[in-house]
Structure 1
Amino acid sequence: MTTRLLQALAAALVTVVAVVAAGCGGGGDGNAGGTTESTASSALKVGLVADAGELNDNGFNELAYNGLKRAERELGIQGRVVEANSAADYIPNMTSLARQGYDLIIGVGFAQGDAIAATAKRFPNTSFAIVDVDQSTLKGKPKNVQGLLFREQQVGYLVGYLAALEAKRAGAKSISAVGGFKEPPVDRYIAGYRAGAEAAVPGTKVRWGYSQDWEDQAKCKELALNQIAAGSKVVFQVAGGCGLGALSAAKDERVWGIGVDADQSFLGPYVLTSALKGVDSAVFLTIKSLQDGTFEGGKSVSFGIDQDGVGLGKVSPKANKADVAAVEKVEQKLADGEVPDIPTTLG
């Protein structure tokens, strides 16, 4: 992530002023899921709650894990990852961390919103953060929880703009997206994707579907293959590890694929670009704010393209240079606030 991104995210977090109470002590419960732990000399303890098997998804969860590991290296904190085998494990895992005296517990993803709200209510002296959930939407609006949000619709707009231009060069006006679940962050990506495509090439048809899974690549591959058979020339994956199957379908069928969250250009030149989200930096800087005494719950922090909170990944060398230049101009207009409001829902 760029220096400008780190500075911007740091500035956003440092503006928040509060005194963070230390996490409560006590005996620990058994964890419902597997754990990964490393020891550091600092007294600050941070727990990350993730889903089993998702720490190497080349995307969202791996970024959060990388942010925790960076905090271990650079801030000297003690970090622990607890992996949940199912949603039923979220509250037991969070409760266990709180009882073991963890100062900050971070939930990774929209699905953990209800669990973090319930646990935060039980442990008001422990700090919590939740990625991709607006704190104001949580039950009870707990004052010890901070939401970490991103304007996915902005980068969705950019990749949709480029996708429509490339599809037009292939003689088509059809692109598609494969989402995991119908959740606000996923739909913000896809809503922006559709709006960007329409702005670039009016009349472009955008298909999308949901795999109802974050892990099973076969499910996402099947969805993508169906979309390609219906004419899609570009497939945008918004489904975590499952979405790698959608990119595999794009490769097999010789159409463009677009990655999500992390830069997935390493998969090959068929990856047109990736819609980046700075989850790693947000996790790192949230931990740093706790260490600095500037963390505050009871609100959300939102990161957009003007702060490099979202942005384009590497663009394939096979992409048309004129199309790439056109998207770069749109990106600058977005950063300057010159693009009208982008939709955040699909209706």
Structure 2
Amino acid sequence: MRNFKKFAAIAAASMLALSACSSDSDDGGNGGTDDGGDAASTDYKACIVSDAGGWDDRSFNESAYNGLMAAEDALGIEAGTAESSSDADFAPNVESMVADGCDMIIGVGFLLEQPLEDAANANPDLAFGLVDATFTDADSNPLELENARPLVFNTAEAAFLAGYLAAGVSETGTVATFGGMQIPSVAIFMDGFVDGVDYYNEQKGTDVQVLGWDKEGQTGAFTNSFDDQTLGKQQAQQFLDQGADVIMPVAGPVGLGAAAAIQETGDAYFIGVDSDWYETAPDYGEFILTSVMKEISASVQDTIQLGVDGSFSSEPYIGTLENGGVGLAPYHDMDSAVSDELKSEIEEITEQIKSGEIVVETPNAP
């Protein structure tokens, strides 16, 4: 394991303070947008409601927001946003988007499911989207709403690659993962990660251990928060103390706490999720091995395009390695830490998953 330079811990990611309020796209800041580029104006308004992490979460809220901005620029639509600071904001924010005349309302995260479902039933002429979760009934069975589309991702496929990579670079023979909450969109990362490590062990005759998740028992380490970075730092430090030298948090901004712990230790790797953390958390770039990415931005833009075209349907968007909806980020500064042999193996496994030669199975699949 390379020795990382130690440098001062960065300040926690700043969160926008607005709560339960909406803004149109010309408000400026991260809750606003540019002037719409060169696209002709379209009489269509698409809106997004954030999860409690806020637009600056360096994760799935920010990715969804970027998709809205890309759609505004490319399609000439009007954009609206409502930022949530707590669970109590979800329903009021969805209602405010309905009142603001949005043609489409997309909620980010599974906690928006019920407010969106209620709004979809009450407003059959409007289109709705739910990022990172599906709609279910009271018994947790899949529920299809004619005017609501789930935007989900089979991140187990990309996390499988991350697990194989983690096992391949680990010098201690111990790697780790933990989640923010035990929900399918979190556990699916952890499932794939464990399977990737297991596959590495199978292929190499090694015994790399995974801390933080038992796939078979579906039990493991969770901070029960996507916001409290202190909890992420504490959890990561526990893993470091147990010898883990690669950690993959699946916990939104809580992952920044884990990154801070690794930074202070200076002798472990970090794997990000949702977006490319080398780009979204550049102060930690010196030890970010890679990231398991969901192309949330593309899924949002695709869904808005369907609305503008008049071809919106409830058929789910499912991101996979094959369609480019999930993938591994570049190694960036860590490129030299990954051997050419390991890089080739990752590329080969990627193609085998795409072709179906390797099937990544998970009870949390979308």
The TM-score normalised by the length of structure 2 is: 0.81
Q: What amino acid does structure 1 have at the position aligned with 2:20?
A: G
Aligned counterparts, 1:245-260, within 5 A: 245-253=257-265, 254-260=267-273
Per mean C-alpha deviation after superposition, the further-off stretch among 134-143 and 45-54 is: 134-143
Residue 213 (structure 1) shift? 1.3
Deviations 1:83-105 (A, max 9, x none): 12221221121112113321000
The answer to whether the Cα contact below 8 Å between 1:103 and 1:127 also exists between their aligned partners in 2 is yes
**Corresponding position of 2:245:** 233
Q: Where does the alignment leave 5 or more consecutive residues of structure 1 unmatched?
A: 1-30
CA RMSD, aligned part only?
2.0
Residue 320 (structure 1) shift? 2.6
**Corresponding position of 1:280:** 297
Residue 340 (structure 1) shift? 2.7
Q: Structure 1 residues 88, 281: closer, same or farther in 2, change over 3 A?
A: same
**Corresponding position of 1:36:** 23
Greater relative contact order, per chain length (Cα 8 Å cut-off, separation 6+): 1
**Corresponding position of 1:317:** 335
Q: Structure 1 residues 92, 212: closer, same or farther in 2, change over 3 A?
A: same
Distance 1:141 1:73 in 2: 31
SS at structure 2 position matched to 1:259: strand
**Identical columns (%):** 30
Note if 1:332 corresponds to 2:351: yes
Distance 2:358 2:235 in 1: 32
Note if 1:185 corresponds to 2:185: yes
Q: Structure 1 residues 119, 32: closer, same or farther in 2, change over 3 A?
A: farther
Deviations 1:196-248 (A, max 9, x none): 00110253221222111112211111101101111211000211111111122
The answer to whether the Cα contact below 8 Å between 2:51 and 2:107 also exists between their aligned partners in 1 is no
Note if 1:290 corresponds to 2:290: no
Q: What amino acid does structure 2 have at the position aligned with 1:320?
A: V
Aligned residue pair count: 312
Per mean C-alpha deviation after superposition, the further-off stretch among 173-182 and 62-71 is: 173-182
The answer to whether the Cα contact below 8 Å between 2:322 and 2:354 also exists between their aligned partners in 1 is yes
Deviations 1:127-158 (A, max 9, x none): 10001112456786322110011101001100
**Corresponding position of 2:161:** 158
Q: Structure 1 residues 307, 229: closer, same or farther in 2, change over 3 A?
A: same
Q: Where does the alignment leave 5 or more consecutive residues of structure 2 unmatched?
A: 1-17, 27-35, 213-220
The answer to whether the Cα contact below 8 Å between 1:181 and 1:210 also exists between their aligned partners in 2 is yes
Residue 165 (structure 1) shift? 1.1
Residue 336 (structure 1) shift? 1.4
Residue 53 (structure 1) shift? 5.0
The answer to whether the Cα contact below 8 Å between 1:94 and 1:105 also exists between their aligned partners in 2 is yes
SS at structure 1 position matched to 2:304: helix
Residue 71 (structure 1) shift? 1.0
**Corresponding position of 1:141:** 144
Q: 1:306 aligns with which of 319, 322, 336?
A: 322
Distance 1:337 1:53 in 2: 36
Where has structure 1 moved over 6 Å in runs of 4 or more?
Answer: none
The answer to whether the Cα contact below 8 Å between 2:185 and 2:364 also exists between their aligned partners in 1 is no
Note if 1:65 corresponds to 2:65: yes
The TM-score normalised by the length of structure 1 is: 0.85
